[in-house]
Chain A
Amino acid sequence: MRFRSPAPALSLAASLLAGCYHGLTGDGAAAHDDGGDAGDAGDEGDPGEVPPAASCAATDPTVPATPMRLLTRYEYDNTVRDLLGDTTRPAQGFAPENHSGLFENDAVEHQVSKDVVRQYLDAAEGIAARAVAERLATLVPCDPAVGDASCGHAFVETLLPRAFRRPVDLAERNAFVALFDAASAQYGFGEGIAITLQAVLQSPQFLYRIELDPPGAQPGDRVALSNHELATRLSYFLTASMPDTVLRASADAGELDDPEALELQARRLLESDGARETVAQFHRQWLGLGALGSVAKDPAAFPGLDPSTFAGDWNDSLQQFIAHVFFDGDATLSQLFSAPEVFLTPELAAFYVAAGQDPETGAWTIPGKHAGLLTQPGLMGLLAYPDGSSPVARGVFVRKRLLCQELSPPPGVAITPPAPDPNATTRERFEQHSTDPACAGCHRLIDPIGFAFENYDGAGRWRTTENGTPIDASGELVGLLDADAEGEMADAAALSARLLDSRDLQSCMVQQWSTFALGRGLDHELEPCTVAELQAQFDGSGGDLRELLVAIVRSDAFRYRTVQTAGEEGAGP
């Protein structure tokens, strides 16, 4: 049984993009991703849905079922930090998560393999050894030098509810107490603690976020999450880690059934350091910034860009900008897509010929127009060839990640990119797409967006000429649900403004943040009310992203689940 919600055919988008598919023969250069969109990890379902407000009666009858979720690498690292004070980020060496969309916390795809199971073992041994060697006195409720059985048992009883994120039953407690007793008898107190920790860290209650059915629940029932399950969803969504003490106390007290109390906790967590981690993780995955670790540039095209540092610096630069908007600014979509700040290391500041630094924010002034996320040097540099800009990569990026659209595949496979021509501009070379009827169908949706970024070269530097010819950064935005926002634009700043004015970007942001929160995409057929409500609340808040996160927490999709079929005993994979 697969949980992937059958994304309803994208009615509007499909008809808009029909030109990609019909009437094409032979050359399929069209939407082929030959443009260096390094982060083209795929995109999420349900793009281009017509806002479904009309189909929402009162309350959604169901919540799409989601399998239990395995901790991602960064969730694991944050959790052992908060659980045991281990800050070594051991999971960075684990195999990368399988994902079918943008996000690594995909409830269906992120699964273990033989190597990951071994990595859990190695990591658990390392964490346990460090805990005992470095922090034992702070972890156990006694002097470790005179640690005895009762101290060990008390340790187990304190550790388990935190590690498993819920009260434990007697059988669970006894299993780990028995392990501690046997291990400490054989190897001593400290080693008994270490071995117990190793087992806890490899147990399913730790590695998975398991949500249990209430007594009497039948398959298909829509049931409310328990307090501890809610606390767990909330903390992993907003802090990418286990519940903190305050949240756990609130769950222990049974307060979280009340949406007001849940919201209060959400707002509190949004002020915490953990929220910075969540925001950074979301943007890394949404924007595909992980690919920066793999990017290389042609040194002949970009002398002065230090190959050993530039990509990491671009990443930091982007994350600083995002945090600036989210935590120093008003966290609105409009600020995200218009703020002029650019944050640079001294090396990058020299490369971009920065003129000066704002003493208050630390933002640099660099030549050219800088309007929000899309014109950030690091993003422009990512969405480019090793030796030049890529209108295709940039156009596809906007369609897929910002508008949640899918581009239909071209029917042909013979792909020939524009021949290199040192005398032509990138735009002139790529304009072949619009004159070749085989390419034009799709590329009229892609290239006119990408051309608007032509003022930013393959490293994101502002330019007004290319090969001696003035840059033409005019473009056109078509193929939106929101026809009012369609039209021509003079450059990237104008494109950002058009996107901001469109309902498409807003609805895509709701989709992306919800997918990140839930480990699945919103299902426009099964939960139209949730979709409509989230949309309306985001709208009503003036595009406030922090309010969107709170709205997601309050949604039925977040607070309820569907009981799985019982299945046959012993049904294997």
Chain B
Amino acid sequence: MFRRSLLRGAAGSLLALPLLELGSRRVAQAAPGTAADGYPLRMLVFFNPNGCWPATWFPSGSENAFTLGSSMAALEPYKDKLLVLDGVDMPVVDAGPGEDHQQGMGGVLTGRALQAGEMVGGDGSKAGWGDGISIDQRIAEQIGTSTPLRSIEAGIRANAFIGGEVRSRIIYAGPAQPLPPEDNPQALWQRLFADFAADPTEMAIRRAKRVSVLDTVGAQFDRMRTRVGAVDRDKLDQHVALVRDLELRLQQEPVLGEHCMVPGQPPALAPDDANVMHMVSQAQIDLLAMALACDITRVGSLQYSNGANHHTFPFIGSNSDGHGLSHAPEEDATSWNEWTLRQTWYCEQFAYLLSRLASIPEGDVTLLDHTVILWVNELAKGNTHSHQRMPFLLAGSAGGYFRTGRYLTYQNASHNDLLVSLQNAFGIEEQSFGAPEYCTGALAGLT
């Protein structure tokens, strides 16, 4: 349920600026990451864990004439917006420490092997954090500078069971700097919309107060950093850099998109509770889609649970232990049927996300067309723990950059090349991302 925002600019006029105007202004600044029609480009990540059951996930057929996998039927209306990728591997993650869940989580978006460390995985292996910036954050560096938020990390039971460790984090600001997903829709709403739901005059005063508070805070960091040792100074420097970034963003008067409607507060839902996971999912998708429509951020992610999960899906009548299911033997049809039920549910969430984005017109097209969504997993297949033939796909063309509506097959392509393609779509021209020895340039055939 949305209500019209009553946002007013400094002069008191309604703030529903035509986004085209906003877009062209930003074109004039020659900002990369802008579509040809002047609208900003957006990038999203969609993650679910524990691999897929390939028989019901991958399509059959040829590049231009293919049938979606049976668990992917919900995507039928969006088939022409998809690029389904078959034969992409993650060799880079296998090269480092850790077990397969750890490796996949920390490497899928960073394109790097894990650091060494003391975090114990499901099988007793040890590893540290991901070793570099993740692709979404790299893109946020490029296109997330002028928005109120650099990026939004939304989770759906992403912190359940294990809290913050390598098996629950995919997004990284830099080496060993994981970014936590927000699993609570009310908190996410607060982060995204509380300021815009407030009275604009009141908001301007609040902004001024925040700046003077953060000035004083920044000065305290500056003082303390000279009095402590090197390691503590690094901690303070890292912290104050985030404070300064926050201060800068808070000072900017936001310019909201033309179809921005500040939504009402979502209901209170216990973020770790399996019984309400489907409600949390819908709320998070609604919030994320509107955050993009409002131009509060241009980069985001939706992380469903994590790589250590023992989740159950009571809301679709699937009560088996998730990790156990994903390890079922090939011939265990009962388990794979139940698994496919969950896979189908994930796909329905993905389709719902696409429907939300497609419902927001931007010029002659929709927000979905100005976006690219990368759907990833940390494993290819649960019962092998393999990182070969990853279930990856793209949806949305990022303003026509990707040629969608196709099913592409590769022979052991390195997923680093896919990450290169994504950064290229946002005007980052480097032909390498993550560990350079696993890059050959952009993944062939996408554009």
Contacts and interface: CB of A to CB of B under 8 A. Distances in A.
Given A31-B123, A98-B165, A175-B216, A117 B246 contact: yes
B245 interface: yes
Contact of B314 (A45, A112, A296): A296
Interface stretch (A52-60, A201-209, A227-235, A424-432): A201-209
A119 to B, nearest CB: 8
Most buried by A among B182, B187, B332: B187
Contact of B163 (A104, A210, A385): A104
Interface residues of A, number: 101
Given A97-B164, A291-B161, A567-B231, A121 B118 contact: no
Interface on chain A toward B: helix, strand, loop, or mixed SS?
A: loop
Given A199-B213, A296-B275, A204 B324 contact: no
A1 B312 contact: no
Given A99-B164, A415-B385, A571 B230 contact: yes
A36 B274 CA distance: 15
A171 interface: yes
Nearest to B137: A114
A400 B122 CA distance: 12
A112 B301 CA distance: 19
B226 to A, nearest CB: 8
A563 B270 CA distance: 44
Given A113-B177, A115-B191, A410-B123, A67 B383 contact: no
B132 to A, nearest CB: 13
B248 interface: no
A150 interface: no
B242 A112 contact: yes
Contacts of B178: 98, 113
Interface in A412-442: 413-417, 419
A198 B177 CA distance: 26
B232 A564 contact: yes
Nearest to B128: A100
A36 B124 contact: no
A6 B124 CA distance: 17
A409 interface: yes
A567 B233 CA distance: 9
A258 interface: no
A413 B232 contact: no
B220 A175 contact: yes
Contacts of B62: none
B320 A176 contact: no
A202 B275 CA distance: 36
A479 to B, nearest CB: 14
Nearest to B178: A98
B162 A409 contact: no
Interface in B175-216: 177-180, 182, 184, 187, 190-191, 209-210, 212-214, 216
B237 interface: yes
Nearest to A104: B163
Contact of A41 (B162, B213, B224): B162
A307 B275 contact: yes
Interface string A451-484: 0000000000000000000000000000000000
A15 interface: no
A413 B228 contact: no
Contacts of A171: 223
A415 B383 contact: yes
A34 B236 CA distance: 40
A41 B163 CA distance: 8
A195 B217 CA distance: 11
B327 A416 contact: yes
A176 B216 contact: yes
B319 interface: yes
Contact of B118 (A45, A70, A307, A419): A45
A568 B386 CA distance: 43
B228 A98 contact: no
B305 to A, nearest CB: 9
A204 B180 contact: no
B275 A385 contact: no
Contact of B238 (A33, A34, A95, A112): A112
Nearest to B226: A569
B219 interface: yes
B384 interface: yes
A28 interface: yes
Contact of A199 (B100, B217, B228, B310): B217
Given A115-B179, A386-B321, 7 more contacts: A40-B122, A68-B232, A93-B187, A100-B165, A195-B213, A385-B324, A567-B231
28 contacts: A33-B122, A68-B228, A68-B232, A96-B163, A96-B164, A114-B173, A114-B242, A114-B245, A116-B180, A117-B243, A124-B213, A293-B160, A294-B157, A294-B161, A299-B319, A307-B275, A386-B310, A400-B120, A406-B120, A407-B124, A413-B386, A415-B327, A416-B329, A417-B327, A565-B229, A571-B234, A572-B241, A573-B177
Interface of B: 99-100, 117-125, 128, 150, 153, 157, 159-165, 173-174, 177-180, 182, 184, 187, 190-191, 209-210, 212-214, 216-217, 219-221, 223-224, 227-239, 241-243, 245-246, 270, 272-275, 308, 310-312, 314, 319-321, 323-324, 327-329, 332, 383-386
